Amino acid sequence: MIDIHSHFFPRISQAEARAVDAERAPWLAVDADGKSGQIMLGDKPFRPVHDELWDSDARVRGLDAAGIALQIVCATPVMFGYAWEAPRAADWATRMNEKAAAYCAPHPTRLRWLSQVALQDVPLATAEAARAMKAGAVGVQIGNHMEKKDLDHPDMVDFLIFCADKAIPVFVHPWDMMTDGRMKQWMMPWLVAMPAETQLGMLSLILSGALERIPKSLKICFAHGGGSFAYTLGRVDNAWKHRDIVRQDCPELPSSYARRLYTDSAVFDPGALKLLTEVMGVDRVMLGTDAPFPLGEQQPGSLVRACDFLGAEGQRRILDGNARAFFGLAA
Ligand SMILES: [Zn+2]
């Protein structure tokens, strides 16, 4: 199995974070046992974590137990640094990418990494995405938005055109969820707003007509099965047919663009995976566990293997073959 969606968080010291942004740069506080800790923002705990996130030996032991041959890791989104001015964010991104390379280096056949970039500045972002590929990255991870810029913004489209031209695979992760203070409890931002953020990213590309300008060669994959995209695509098509303001920038039926996009398989429900594979195509869904976080798939591959409607060949594609083709990995 190949897992295309997992996160790392390196040992960033408090001093290293404070030098960048005392309140918003994340750092890692590790407990005395070395196995548990907290991601910190300033003096405040952000999220309890454990050693697979920063210790790749521990990660690979987990991969062995789960039967995962290769896992692709990327930054935990709190590391993006999109709120800072571009040069500072670009320097941070380079350092985080060096830490990603170092995390994977002891296990080159088991762990590969996606870069992060300072999306604030397209020339800086494209330069780092290209540098990282030479340094061993297999693609680039971006957030589904950069402050107020969604994926249809000309800067984002320019970045994606660059990635298409240079054959750099792109993984889009939702983050910085839309809330106005009403979603405070029960992880509502992760359960309601996060799937909507992903859908917003996908629809921004489709309804803006950006996919008419971006080369068809672009390989772009969205996390969490595309969030609420597949389930509400019929609503979008209906709106496109009956409202010219939905149609004005998007020349083709919105659902016809789904086959330009990929998603991971992290939907946790056989019926949802059936719909997703029908909307995206069985060749455009890839195993993604969101490890090592609790909202990820705890028995990697179990959902796909439980879906008999995929057939053996469909299951093999989602668990392995599609990721090899998407990231250009040797069979
Ligand atoms: Zn994730």
Which DSSP string corresponds to 180-195?
A: SSS--STTHIIIIIHH
Q: What average pLDDT does the segment 23-31 reach? A: 96
Distance from Cα 257 to the centre of ligand 1, integer Å: 24
Q: Say if residues 126 and 162 touch (Cβ distance below 8 Å).
A: yes
| Ramachandran area for residue 67 (φ above 0: left; ψ -120 to 50: alpha; else beta) | left
The tens digit of pLDDT for each residue in 233-271 reads 999 999 999 999 999 999 999 999 999 999 999 999 999
**Count of domains forming the chain:** 1
pLDDT of 331 over the 80 cut? no
Domain membership of residue 282 as a residue range: 2-327
Angle at 329 between CA 115 and CA 157, to 5 degrees: 45
How far away, in angstroms, is 298 Cα from ligand 1 center?
A: 13
Three-class DSSP category at 144: coil
pLDDT of res. 36 = 97
- Domain of 172, CATH number, reads 3.20.20.140
Whole-angstrom Cα distance, residue 203 to residue 172? 13
Q: How confident is the model at residue 330 (pLDDT cuts 50, 70, 90)?
A: confident
Tell me: the pLDDT tens digits for 102-160? 999 999 999 999 999 999 999 999 999 999 999 999 999 999 999 999 999 999 999 99
Q: What is the pLDDT of residue 8?
A: 98
The three-state DSSP-derived secondary structure of 245-261 is: HHHCCCCCCHHHHHHHC
| Ligand 1 center–CA 251 separation, angstroms | 32
* Interval between CA 195 and ligand 1 midpoint (Å): 12
* 116 CA to centre of ligand 1 in angstroms: 14
Q: What is the pLDDT of residue 310?
A: 98
Q: Are strands 44-50 and 36-41 parallel, antiparallel or unpaired?
A: antiparallel
Q: How far away, in angstroms, is 33 Cα from ligand 1 center? A: 26
Determine the Cα–Cα distance for residues 240 and 175; give it in Å rounded to an integer: 27
Task: For residue range 75-84, list pLDDT tens digits in order.
Answer: 999 999 999 9
DSSP designation for 153? S
Mean pLDDT of 306-312: 98
pTM over 0.95: yes
- Give 82 Cα–ligand 1 centroid separation in angstroms: 17
Predicted pLDDT at 181: 84
- Indicate the pairing of strand 26-30 with strand 36-41: antiparallel
Cα 223 to ligand 1 centroid, rounded to whole Å:
7
**Can you list the positions of beta strands (E) in 183-330?**
220-222, 262-264, 285-286
The alpha carbon torsion through 95, 96, 97, 100 (nearest 10 deg) reads: 130
Q: Find where tokens 């390989």 sit.
A: 219
Q: Which residues are CB-neighbours of 311 under 8 A, at least 6 positions away? A: none
Distance 240 CA to ligand 1 centre (A): 31
Using alpha carbons, select from 253, 174, 256 the residue that is nearest to residue 216.
256
Rounded distance from Cα 212 to ligand 1 centre (Å): 28
C-alpha torsion angle, residues 92, 98, 99, 104 (rounded to 10): 150
Neighbours of 153 (CB within 10 A): 18
Among the listed residues 40, 39, 42, the one whose alpha carbon sits nearest the alpha carbon of residue 51: 39
Chain segment 64-77, per-residue pLDDT in tens: 999 999 999 999 99
Arithmetic mean of pLDDT, 37-49: 95
User: What is the C-alpha to C-alpha distance for residues 253 and 32, in angstroms, rounded to an integer?
Assistant: 56
pLDDT digits (tens, 9 = 90+) for 160-215: 999 999 999 999 999 999 988 888 899 999 999 999 999 999 999 999 999 999 99
Mean of all residue pLDDT scores within the chain: 97
The pLDDT assigned to 180 comes to 85
d(CA 5, ligand 1 centre) in Å = 6
Question: From ligand 1's centre to the CA of 193, what distance in Å?
Answer: 14
CA of 130 to the centre of ligand 1 (A): 23
Q: Give the distance (Å) from ligand 1 centre to CA of residue 98.
A: 20
Q: How far is the CA of 214 from the centre of ligand 1 (A)?
A: 25
Distance from the alpha carbon of residue 173 to the mean position of ligand 1, in angstroms: 6
Q: Is the peptide bond before 292 cis (omega within 30 degrees of 0)?
A: yes
What is the arithmetic mean of pLDDT over 296-323?
Answer: 97
Question: Could you report the per-residue pLDDT of 263-302, keeping only the tens digit for each?
Answer: 999 999 999 999 999 999 999 999 999 999 999 999 999 9
Tokens 């599609």 belong to which residue?
322
**Ligand 1 centroid distance, CA of 46 (Å):** 16
